[in-house]
Chains A and B, each alone.
Chain A
């Protein structure tokens, strides 16, 4: 099925495009991909073709970018993306216990999605919130000073 922006996203895309010199449309690549992923959940081949055509580049150039950046998904992901930090400062604050708790609770490993499509679990590098370690993000929200109990509370509260 062909992909195209909803009318309100089309407007946002036009706004994004206006930030860059007209002959440098490619510069709008990352914000455009974020916008497309927000609508579609992941960057499918159809999305890549659409974005390529909007920015006057080849689909291969879009693929090149998509594969470089960890925040873009090429497969469908869960409704909630749980990003748990595993870098040194958080490791010093006991993130291993949080990671074990998450994998046990959700019954999946890192980079996996629960069968009901609710959660995707990702191990990520430092989220620049080390003073609150251990930390995780659930979609756009950041949660710090995690304990297994706090993780339960956060995840159980999600629809």
Chain B
């Protein structure tokens, strides 16, 4: 088996000048999938996507085909919302799709809408993506001109309108029901589920919300087939109940923080966290790694003992964290883990939409405990107190939340994992009454006392060989 290598499929030619125009995109195979698409029956297409193993890239990793199968067939109209809100700290792969390959997203939207009998799609673009929205708007206009959107696409009788909709700077609008509320012209406050959007979403009609990267996988599945797609990535056997074994395709890993070459790395799923860090040039200045957040800021942190876990949905879930949005934040030995957590808790306290008391009040409370520990004003027992308060927002061990949306879990996960896994460093702050950066070996809770230990890696029936 070779060493992991990049394999650019979604990101192929992403840096090519003019790739955001229809002309250049089509010169490089763009919209080829449509030649096959309209020959495929919508139901057969839903089956294909299910069979491909494609899982949502926006955070939850839910099977895309399965989600599609929940959409009622006999209700009109239905809507697709492409989620281009990309706000999870550490995540930046959708940005470059919008800026450089907006037509790939449009192609994916056409495929999803054909499968689901949808005639109106909205792309919810985060307000700060000014260039991305401009490029996408221009691409949509080109697609209408070329008869790829609008009425009677390519003489098939299929109609599809695609519109962009700007956000306005609120993280919670990335949550699918917050996004829907926001699209309806209201505060982006998530809804209680059920009903799920697939049944009652935008304008109370069946709605599929799908991340930009997820949709961008579709042209390749349609064009190259399910078998081709399943020959990318990792498939496990005998995973526990509730753990999806499929990690097919490539993933756009966003590596940031203390690495030599931060950036987006497109790789078949299955390489380890350590290998991914190496791919990004290793830790800057040859320093030692201290902490890694593997899936956007909401994902529980990993210690240096936990870096041989494959960076895929299944293994990260089985090791009590998640692939989430694919934002890998690397921290070296110079980092103060209390300060890092404080930064995240400031983010979450600022972004809570304020509907649920545990989240609205609990998040600033966790932030304040973290701050007082960091500033050397912590009291004995504060670390347990921090964990306890975080667990009241959402119980990370039971995986239950006392809130409307899983933002609650997104707060509790980093809080509890940092406090448990870097407890010696937290306690040192309290003991010495000032910020202290301990050497890595001393800062980390020993693996056998670490709640995420032992690491579980199931047997695989298919793994990447990287022989290209």
A interface residues (Cβ-Cβ under 8 A, vs B): 19, 21, 24, 26-31, 33-34, 55, 57, 61, 64-65, 68-72, 83, 86-89, 91-93, 124-133, 137, 140, 142
Asked if B169 and A89 make an inter-chain contact with CB atoms under 8 angstroms apart, the answer reads no
B87 touching A126 by the CB < 8 A rule?
A: yes
Sampled A-B contacts (8; CB under 8 Å): A19-B165, A57-B185, A72-B168, A86-B343, A88-B343, A88-B347, A92-B258, A128-B129
Asked if B297 and A88 make an inter-chain contact with CB atoms under 8 angstroms apart, the answer reads yes
Q: Are A26 and B185 in contact (CB under 8 A)?
A: yes
The 8 A-B residue pairs with the shortest CB-CB distance, nearest first, are A29-B185, A69-B168, A26-B185, A130-B256, A70-B169, A71-B169, A126-B89, A89-B256
Give every chain B residue within 8 A of A24 (Cβ-Cβ).
Answer: 184, 203
Whether, in the assembled complex, B465 has its beta carbon less than 8 Å from a beta carbon of chain A, the answer is no
List the A side residues contacting B188 at CB < 8 Å: 68-69
Minimal beta-carbon separation of B147 from chain A (angstroms): 20
Beyond the given pairs A88-B89, A88-B329, A126-B347, 19 more chain A to chain B contacts, judged by CB atoms under 8 angstroms and listed by A's residue number, are A24-B184, A27-B184, A30-B166, A30-B167, A30-B185, A34-B166, A57-B185, A65-B186, A69-B167, A70-B169, A71-B169, A87-B343, A88-B347, A89-B89, A89-B329, A91-B343, A125-B171, A130-B257, A132-B262
A140 touches B170 (CB 8 A): no
Distance A93 CA – B259 CA, assembled complex (angstroms): 10
Expressed in whole angstroms, the Cα–Cα distance for A70 and B353 within the complex equals 12
Q: Which chain B residues border A70 with CB–CB below 8 Å?
A: 168-170
Give Cα A93–Cα B351 distance, bound, in whole angstroms: 22
User: Given B87, B167, B335, which contacts A92 in the complex, CB threshold below 8 Å?
Assistant: B335
Minimum distance in angstroms from B397 CB to a CB of chain A = 24
Q: How many residues of B contact A (CB 8 A)?
A: 53
A26–B184 CB distance below 8 A: yes
| In the complex with contacts A93-B257, A137-B128, A142-B131, A125-B87 CB distance below 8 A | yes
Task: Enumerate chain A residues within 8 angstroms of B185, measured Cβ to Cβ.
Answer: 26-30, 55, 57, 65
B58-78 CB contacts (< 8 Å) to partner A? none
Q: Contact at B89–A87, with CB atoms within 8 Å?
A: yes
Of residues 392 through 444 on chain B, the ones whose CB sits less than 8 Å from some CB of chain A are: none
Chain A residues near B182 (CB-CB < 8 A): 30
B373 at interface (Cβ–Cβ under 8 A)?
A: no
Q: Pick the residue among A31, A87, A93 that contacts B347 (CB under 8 A).
A: A87
Scan B89-102; emit 1 where CB is below 8 A from any A CB, else 0.
Answer: 11110110000000
Judge whether A124 and B169 touch: CB under 8 Å: yes
Contacts of B331 in A (CB 8 A): 92
Query: Chain B: residues with CB nearer than 8 A to chain A?
Result: 86-92, 94-95, 122, 126-131, 161, 163, 165-171, 182-188, 203, 254-258, 262-264, 297, 327, 329, 331, 335, 340, 343-344, 347, 350-351, 353
Counting chain B CB atoms within 10 Å of each CB, which of A64, A71, A125 scores highest?
Answer: A125
**Contact, CB under 8 Å: B131 / A88:** no
State whether B168 touches A140 (Cβ < 8 A).
no
Question: Considering the chains assembled together, what is the distance between the CA atoms of A91 and B257 in angstroms?
Answer: 8
Cα–Cα, bound, A31→B255 (Å): 32
Closest-by-CB residue of B relative to A83 is: B128
Closest B residue to A19 by beta carbon equals B163
Most chain A CB inside 10 Å of its own CB: which residue of B182, B255, B344: B182
Contact B168 A71 (CB under 8 A): yes
User: Taking CB as reference atom, which chain A residue is nearest B202?
Assistant: A27
Tell whether A69 pairs with B183 under 8 Å between CB atoms, given A24-B203, A130-B254. no
Question: Smallest CB–CB gap between A94 and chain B, Å?
Answer: 11
Residues of B within 8 A of A72 (CB): 168
Among B126, B128, B183, B258, the most chain A Cβ lie within 10 Å of the Cβ of: B128
Q: Is the CB of B92 within 8 A of A88?
A: no
A120 to chain B, nearest CB (A): 14
Residues of A within 8 A of B90 (CB): 88-89, 126, 130
B329 contacts A68, C-beta separation under 8 Å: no
CB A156 to nearest CB in B, in angstroms, measures 22
